[in-house]
Amino acid sequence: MTVIKSKNNKNTGEKVGEKINGFHKNGFVNHKLVSVDETCIDKNGSIESNQDINNQYKRDENFKESFEQPTLITACLTYLGFYLLMIIGYINQLFFVPKVATEKNRDDYVPLFAAFESFYLRYVYRRVKDCWNRPICSCPADTVTLKDRVTKDYGWTFEFTGTETKCLNLGSYNYLGFAQNKGPCADDAIESIHKYGIATYSPRRELGTNALHTELEKLTAEFLGVEDAIVFGMGFATNALNLPSLLSPGCLVISDEKNHASIILGLRLSGATIKVYKHNNTHHLEKVIQQAIVNGQPNGKPWKKILIILEGVFSMEGSIVKLPEIIEIKKKYGAFIYLDEAHSIGATGNHGRGVCDFYGINPKDVDILMGTFTKSFGSAGGYIGGSKSLISFLRANSHAHCYASSMAPAVTQQILTSMKIIMGLDGTNEGKKRIDQLARNTRYFRKRLAQIGVITYGHEDSPVVPMLVYLFSKIGAVVRTLTKRQIAVVGAGFPATPIMEGRIRFCLSAAHTKEQLDYALQVIDEIGDSLGLKYSRKPRDLNQIEY
Amino acid sequence: MIKSLLNAVLKFINYWIYRYLLVTELYMTEPWERVTIHVFLFLIFLVQFAFNYSVLLPFTARLFNFQIVT
């Protein structure tokens, strides 16, 4: 029996975009389009056998991601609002030139500020600037205390009012709740200061390595399931300074569209050729690799090496990378994978070991495992894990290892204690409890948000939940209203996100209790009505969601 | 009773003015900019009204063989 691929999904009665060969157009990605024993006529009229379609889609069934697009009216109004804002900005700039725009004593010099960036900074960002860079005065655990500020001249200057607001903290990267100033981690860190001092005062290759670093490297390697690991003092610098050591001109790098700024900086610094593939789209990745291998370098020689750079959990989208398929592609074409697990280490997987644990993949399949200790371990710094030869190479050739000051003892001890708790080596099941609590919180929060009717992006298991609000004024309004209701969140607009997709990002934590989440969801429901945030057109589950 | 009715109407109007300010991004502008854009949008509305009255209405009436008698 042959059928034409229908637009309407059999299983759900809603409007779904067409999915042809893995690319989805408007609508959310749904994966149960074809049943088992039918052959299909695809868009070009050729008959495809169902077996390879099923193989393509079978694994997609496990990916529970959604990137719902808004209605046409919302998109149009967003653009119109932005154009109005630009018109207002130009009129403002024409009549009232701000003090910073006039540059004195700079005749015959190139202007200091780039035109569009400075315009955006002064006439769009400045108006809602009170929602960012908010100073805190307590430990950013499950609640945080914000210092209140007011601006009397629309964002040019700020003054402190002297009062403080204690808010529920939905903005800190505190996935496993280790951001505490009391408890075993804090006690161990204080003891390590007594023993080793405040800082190491030296790079690793001079006098900056102490017993804690060696222990941490061994423990990290055991945690990840790889042969060896190397740690650095700064997470951003781990990417930016190690990619130039691993790559050189003549290498090809294929990086995801939405990779972090540290990766992009490191790649540009290295001088390798960079090709970008569409976010989490394995078909496009395969096409790009095929083209690159066929064409080779611009001078005709084959590429020295091909490296695919991914992130475990993307911090602005909340999506989880499709690792099994990409590992298949890598084995087929002989490429290497560099996996940046900054947000996923500790936060995903049954045992908190990251994306490899989440999918049940052998970590030795991924060539370079990179991550940071900033998010789940409550500390600072980064690591790279992999084979012994890779780590020995990095110990000899990495810029961050040779020149950057090494990790301070208290910071190292915090990671050691928290990692031991997560692995269960301290004898309690505190680590497992935290991982389970985080997973439970994530599922509950995402399901409740879908029930409320706001659009959220990403995989249903990722603890990063971006809620789309599309307009700058709504980002400002939501952040201000939530602060008044004692919830602290982070809003994200251009240039961190595409210009029409402003979002509010919730970072869930194992430290949040159900009551706190319920309060936050109730406030979000009220705000969704009063500010008009309920853009979702998916059918809403009206049953009570269990925790 | 009239007071509660009036309050309800005012609440309704305030809510929708707030939504209008948010959608057109006038929420984060200064008062003089808001007045300018209100005037600008009102002028566009008047132009649209004039266009509908003088061009669109007779045209669509003619399509349905419907004479407008004033």
Both A406 and A457 in a single domain? Answer: no
> Chain B residues with CB inside 8 Å of A128's CB?
28
pTM, rounded to two decimals: 0.84
In this prediction, residues A19-35 reach a mean pLDDT of 41
Task: Give the C-alpha separation, A310 to B2, whole Å.
Answer: 63
Both A250 and A343 in a single domain? Answer: yes
The pLDDT value recorded for residue A63 is: 56
Q: Which residue has the higher pLDDT, B64 or A340?
A: A340
Both A149 and A188 in a single domain? Answer: no
CA within 13 Å, CB half, A84: 28
Instruction: Indicate the pLDDT class of residue A436, thresholds 50, 70 and 90.
Output: very high
The pLDDT value recorded for residue A48 is: 42
Both A225 and A363 in a single domain? Answer: yes
Both A223 and A145 in a single domain? Answer: no
CA A77, A80, A85, A88 torsion-angle sign: negative
Report CB contact under 8 Å: B22, A472: no
Query: What is the rounded (10 degree) CA torsion for A375, A381, A387, A390?
Result: 140
The whole-angstrom distance between B15's CA and the closest CA on chain A is 7
Nearest CB among B19, B26, B36 relative to A91 is that of B36
Residue with tokens 């490899």: A356
Report CB contact under 8 Å: A471, B29: no
Residues of B engaging A, defined by a Cβ cutoff of 8 Å: 15, 18-19, 21-30, 33, 36-37
The phi-psi region of residue A302 (left if phi > 0; otherwise alpha if psi is between -120 and 50; otherwise beta) is: beta
The pLDDT value recorded for residue A228 is: 94
> Chain B residues with CB inside 8 Å of A154's CB?
30
A488, A478 Cβ separation under 8 angstroms: no
Would you report the helix, strand and coil content of chain A in percent, each value rounded to 5? 40, 15, 40
Report CB contact under 8 Å: A532, B36: no
Q: Residue ranges of the domains in chain B?
A: 2-63
Report CB contact under 8 Å: A473, B19: no
Nearest CB among A84, A127, A530 relative to B24 is that of A84
On whether residue A18 sits in a domain, the answer given is yes
Our separate counts of H helices and E strands in chain A read: 16, 20
On whether residue A544 sits in a domain, the answer given is no
Cis ω for the linkage preceding A495 (within 30 of 0)? yes
In this prediction, residues A385-406 reach a mean pLDDT of 93
Among candidate residues A423, A440, A470, the one where a domain is terminated: A423
The whole-angstrom distance between B68's CA and the closest CA on chain A is 33
In this prediction, residues A211-225 reach a mean pLDDT of 94
On whether residue A298 sits in a domain, the answer given is yes
Nearest CB among B24, B27, B36 relative to A477 is that of B27
In this prediction, residues A427-436 reach a mean pLDDT of 90
Task: Give the C-alpha separation, A335 to A356, whole Å.
Answer: 18
pLDDT reading at B69 higher than 80: no
Q: In this structure, what are the phi and psi dihedrals at residue A262, rounded to the nearest 5 degrees?
A: -65, -40
Both A248 and A377 in a single domain? Answer: yes
Minimum mean pLDDT range among A99-113, A141-155, A450-464? A99-113
Both A35 and A142 in a single domain? Answer: no
Both A418 and A506 in a single domain? Answer: no
The pLDDT value recorded for residue A62 is: 53
On whether residue A127 sits in a domain, the answer given is no
pLDDT reading at A528 higher than 60: yes
A280: which residues sit within 8 A by CB, 6+ positions away? A65, A256, A314, A319, A321, A322
In this prediction, residues A71-86 reach a mean pLDDT of 89
The phi-psi region of residue A197 (left if phi > 0; otherwise alpha if psi is between -120 and 50; otherwise beta) is: left
**Identity of residue A111:** P
Report CB contact under 8 Å: B33, A154: no
Nearest CB among A80, A127, A530 relative to B28 is that of A127
Nearest CB among A85, A531, A532 relative to B25 is that of A85
In this prediction, residues A207-233 reach a mean pLDDT of 94
On whether residue A194 sits in a domain, the answer given is yes
The pLDDT value recorded for residue A35 is: 38
Nearest CB among A81, A88, A92 relative to B23 is that of A81
Instruction: Label residues A195-233 b or e (16+ Cβ within 10 Å = b).
Output: ebeebbeebbeeebbbebbeebbebbbebbebebbbbbb
Report CB contact under 8 Å: A92, B33: yes
ipTM of model: 0.85
Both A162 and A279 in a single domain? Answer: no
pLDDT, tens digit, 9 for 90 and up, residues A256-279: 999 999 999 999 999 999 999 999
Q: How many domains does chain A have?
A: 3
- CATH, residue A152: 3.90.1150.10
Report CB contact under 8 Å: B25, A473: yes
Instruction: Indicate the pLDDT class of residue A101, thresholds 50, 70 and 90.
Output: confident
In this prediction, residues A514-522 reach a mean pLDDT of 94
The pLDDT value recorded for residue B63 is: 86
On whether residue A116 sits in a domain, the answer given is no
The pLDDT value recorded for residue A112 is: 80
Rg of the Cα atoms in chain A: 25
pLDDT reading at A52 higher than 60: no
**Identity of residue A362:** N
Both A476 and A366 in a single domain? Answer: no
Both A358 and A485 in a single domain? Answer: no
Both A146 and A250 in a single domain? Answer: no
Range of the domain at A411: 184-423
> Chain A residues with CB inside 8 Å of B29's CB?
85, 88, 127
Report CB contact under 8 Å: A471, B37: no
> Chain A residues with CB inside 8 Å of B18's CB?
530-531
Q: Which of A73, A80, A471, A473 to mutate to test the interface with B (most CBs of B within 10 A)?
A: A473
On whether residue A233 sits in a domain, the answer given is yes
Report CB contact under 8 Å: A80, B30: no
In this prediction, residues A410-429 reach a mean pLDDT of 92
In this prediction, residues A67-90 reach a mean pLDDT of 88
pLDDT reading at A252 higher than 80: yes
The pLDDT value recorded for residue A432 is: 92
Report CB contact under 8 Å: A84, B27: no
Residues of A engaging B, defined by a Cβ cutoff of 8 Å: 77, 80-82, 84-85, 87-88, 91-92, 127-128, 154, 471-474, 476-477, 530-532
Residue of A nearest to B19 (CA): A531
Q: Say which DSSP state A125 is in.
A: I
pLDDT reading at A341 higher than 90: yes
On whether residue A147 sits in a domain, the answer given is yes
- CATH, residue A194: 3.40.640.10
